[in-house]
Every structure is written in structure tokens, then in C-alpha cells.
Amino acid sequence: MLLPLTIVAFLSSQIIARDHDYCYADDDNPYLYMATKTAYQFVHGGKTRYQTIPNCNPVQIWMLARHGTRYPKKSTITKLHTLPKLRDQIIYNHEIRGFGNLCDKDLKNLQSWNSIQNLTEDMAQYLTVQGEEDLKLLARRLQTNFPELLQPSAANITSTNYKFRSTDSQRTKASLTSFMHGLFGSSNAVTPEHTPANDTLLKAYKVCDSYQETLNDPSVFEESSKFGNGIEIENLLHNVSRRLGFRYNITTTSVGLMYDMCRYEKAWNVTKVSPWCAVFTVDELQILEYQEDLYYYYYTGPSREINARVGCPPLQDMFQHFQKLEGSEYSHQPKGIFYFTHSGSLQTTMTALGIAKDKVPLTASNYKEMSKRLWRTSEIGSFATNIVAVFYKCTTSDSPNKVMFYVAEKPLLFQGCDVGLCDWEYLKNKLGKEAFECSLDFCWDGSGATSLINGSLGILLFPALTLLFLGR
């Protein structure tokens, strides 16, 4: 009785296998989009994409950047230490039981994998060496492209000319110093601005009570958890389990840990192959990517109005700086303003700017239709991702003030602008109200909380009011 069963299991596992001679380790073109744990190296456009703008001179550069590649948080590190056990089972499945479809090379890589040894809890969320490099190289590319602003004489490297500020964490502070070092050859060339405990500029989404209260409402994460229980993930669990030689379905937790190990290792050392990436096909990596995109789409992205509201303080800061450059008296204004923060801040600011706003909302049921979505955290939310805005003075146009936006060093083709180059007056018309009238009062006055879907009362009232309004 045993033999036929084994043969059936063997045959069915062959059917769902990838090409039997496929080896991830030999793949010259692996899929590298890993949602918010994507290495900046694989997505930025800095090598070719900066534009020289004829008849225009840059006079100020404003930047909001996420910290570079970091180590996982403490609870993740603890869980990742269970992977050696899973690895041993996978090896056992292949070598002793004859199940599983990893190629020999991928299996050997997994067998000799031991980088987890050096990952200890005291490193949690610290910036990695690659993370320092991310920011240092970003600084150098900006400097090369904007020499007028970023190659000052030693005497002009001052805290009046260059403003630096980070949130209060090791990874953002170290990102700031790495960037500064890349720019001026020293980590303390300029004294950074003070970081207030209540950081309403760079951490509004964290300090805003009303916003935080909305996160208690499970409906915010409903689509990503629906997707997590849906058919795509179900098939993924099944296929990955068979590929690794398990005859039962492994858990989403195990899959999540392997995915995390794969993408963290790829981001820590961009030239190395992580054996854990061999566990997944491209299709599967894209499914995992979509689940995370869904999560952030509702958490910080365009799906909720409150996300744009907590994203306005950096926008306001940018507009206030640019406003001071409008006239001819701008030579005493700073040349560079550089902020270092977290993905939530970057994403809510992008939401406030209207970046990556899809016409059709992302949901648990439209994965296939959204394959060309704009909201793709791999592209807009990787490690070290950034928004750069450059203010120009131009001579030929009747409107001398222009602004160009870059996201991850790619020009942002803002609607209503000329291949990304925007008239400052147009921008003020379009976004000035959101920017200049930005207020976080709703975060703490209690009244805003209810109208922004706070708790069950809000949930009940909101649709009812909408219906009433529509009924008129």
C-alpha cells in the first residue's frame, strides 16, 4: 500500500514543479521587487535620470528620505532564528525522503546557509553597512547632478546653507550622517536640527492620536487579510510546500519568515544570492508583493483621506521653503534641506502629493487586474526611497519659478506639468491649499476623531450620513 501512495505523491509533486533544471542560484535576472524591503540599488533611477533644464538654475533642493537598509525588528529576529530548523527539514525532505524540487545548487546553498548566527536582537532595526552606503551614494549622485547647490566651498558648508533633520532613531540618524558624509566628506560637517519628542513634521502619523485610533479599526487591514486567506495565497502555500518536500501545507508564518529572510539578505548584500529566495517562483514573489502593497494602500496610501491629512506637514514645509524663493531676494535661503524618516512618513506624504494614485482601488479580489498598478511599494517605498523637489529660477519663461519632483531619483510626471517641470504658480494652485493650510489639530481635539471613522460609532454613522446626502 505504501509504495503506490509514494509514487502518486512523487508524480503530483513533479506536476507542480518548476522546470526541473531551474536553479535560482543561476538565474541572471531574478525578481528583485520585494515591497518595502526592496534594496534601493534595484529601483532608483539615479544613474541616468536627472535632467538639466535649459535656461534654468537650481536654487534649492528639498528632500524627504526613508532610512537605508536596516535589520529586522526584534520580534522578527527572534522568529527568524527558527529558520535553521525549517532548513533542516527541507534538506531532510530532499535527501532522505526524496521529496521536494529544489535544484542541487539551491539545496546546497540552503544547507550551508548560516548568516543567521550573526543576527542578534541587539541589532534590531539598526542601519546596516549597505544602508549607510545607500545614503552615501545617493548624496554623491545628487552632488554630481546639482553642483551649483551641493559643491560649496568649505566656508559655505554651514547650518544656514544646509539643513539636516532626522527622527529620533538610530537608523534615521545614521542615515543622516551617512548622507552628510557622502556630501561633505564628514559626518559632522553641519549640526543637524533638533528633533522634538513630539515630531509633528517627520512622524505626524505616529504622534497623531486620531490617526492611530483609526488603526484599531480592523476594516483598515481587511483587504490585505482577505487576500492573505484567498485563493492566490492558498495555492502559494500548497505549491511552496510541495516544492520544499512537505506533504502537508506549511503555514503562512513559515512562508512569511522565508520571504523576510530572502529579501533582507538581498538588501543587506545586493550581490549575494539568498538561498531563501530559491523557495519562491516569480509569480509567488509577486503575490507576496501585492499583499504588502494592499496593506500599505490602506495603512498609509491613497485609500483613506486621513492618510493625506497626516502626510501634509512635510508638504507644508516644502511649500514654505519654496515660497521664500519667489522674489529676487533668495540668496540667503538654504541650498539644501534634507530630512530622514520612515516609510509611513514617506508614503503619507506621497499620498498628500497625489503620487501613485490608481484609478481603480486595490482590493483582495483584483490582483490580476492591478498588475500594472501605480501603488507599488517596491518602487515608491523601498529602503532609502526619497522625494526630491528642486526649485529653479528660469530666464526665458514668463513664469521664472519652476519646480521639478523626483521619486527615487526618477522624474515625477506630475499632471499639468511639462515633462515633470512644473510652474510654481500652477503647483500653488493645485496643492497650495493642502500645503499651506495643513493642520494637525484634528489629531488631538477629539472632534476630528469621530468624523474620521473612529470606533464603531463612526463606522455606523458614516455610511448613514453618506446615504442621507445622496438621497437628497
Ligand X SMILES: *[C@@H]1O[C@H](CO)[C@@H](O)[C@H](O)[C@H]1NC(C)=O
Residues within the interface to ligand X (CB under 6 A): 16, 114-115, 117-118, 129, 153, 155-156, 198, 200, 207, 234-235, 238-239, 248-249, 269, 271-272, 281, 283, 331, 444
Pick the closer one to ligand X by CB: 156 or 466.
156
Pick the closer one to ligand X by CB: 235 or 451.
235
Pick the closer one to ligand X by CB: 14 or 82.
14
Report the number of secondary-structure helices (H) and strands (E) in the chain.
Answer: 20, 7
- Least separation in angstroms between CB 414 and ligand X: 28
Task: Please work out, in degrees rounded to the nearest 5, the angle formed at the alpha carbon of residue 386 by the alpha carbons of 384 and 391.
Answer: 150
Nearest CA to 390 out of 469, 318, 471, 293 is that of: 318
325 SS3 class: coil
CA distance 200 to 341: 12
CB 266 within 8 A of CB 277: yes
- Least separation in angstroms between CB 278 and ligand X: 14
CA distance 142 to 131: 17
In degrees rounded to 5, what are phi and psi of residue 392?
Answer: -115, 150
Nine cell digits for residue 34: 520585494
Helices 83-95 + 104-111 axis angle, to 10: 140
- Least separation in angstroms between CB 103 and ligand X: 15
For residue 250, count other CB atoms closer than 10 A to its CB. Answer: 17
Q: Which of 44, 67, 94, 342 is catalytic?
A: 67
Beta bridge partners of 269: none
Category of 373 on φ-ψ map: left (φ > 0), alpha (ψ -120 to 50) or beta = beta
Measured from each CB, the residue nearest to ligand X is 153
CA distance 204 to 206: 5
- Least separation in angstroms between CB 234 and ligand X: 4
- Least separation in angstroms between CB 465 and ligand X: 27
- Least separation in angstroms between CB 152 and ligand X: 6
Pick the closer one to ligand X by CB: 364 or 387.
364
Pick the closer one to ligand X by CB: 200 or 225.
200
Strands 401-407 and 421-423: antiparallel
DSSP state letters, 121-178: GGGTTPBPHHHHHHHHHHHHHHHHH-HHHH---GGG-STTTEEEEE-SSHHHHHHHHH
CA distance 132 to 112: 28
- Least separation in angstroms between CB 119 and ligand X: 9
Pick the closer one to ligand X by CB: 111 or 115.
115
Pick the closer one to ligand X by CB: 198 or 396.
198
For residue 52, count other CB atoms closer than 10 A to its CB. Answer: 7
- Least separation in angstroms between CB 99 and ligand X: 13
Whether 67 is a known active-site residue: answer yes
For residue 88, count other CB atoms closer than 10 A to its CB. Answer: 12
399 SS3 class: coil
Nine cell digits for residue 417: 506639468
Nine cell digits for residue 285: 514573489
Pick the closer one to ligand X by CB: 283 or 425.
283
CA distance 147 to 340: 22
CA distance 295 to 297: 6
Pick the closer one to ligand X by CB: 291 or 303.
291
- Least separation in angstroms between CB 358 and ligand X: 26
Distance separating the N- and C-terminal Cα atoms of the chain: 72
CA distance 286 to 273: 18
> What are the catalytic residues?
67
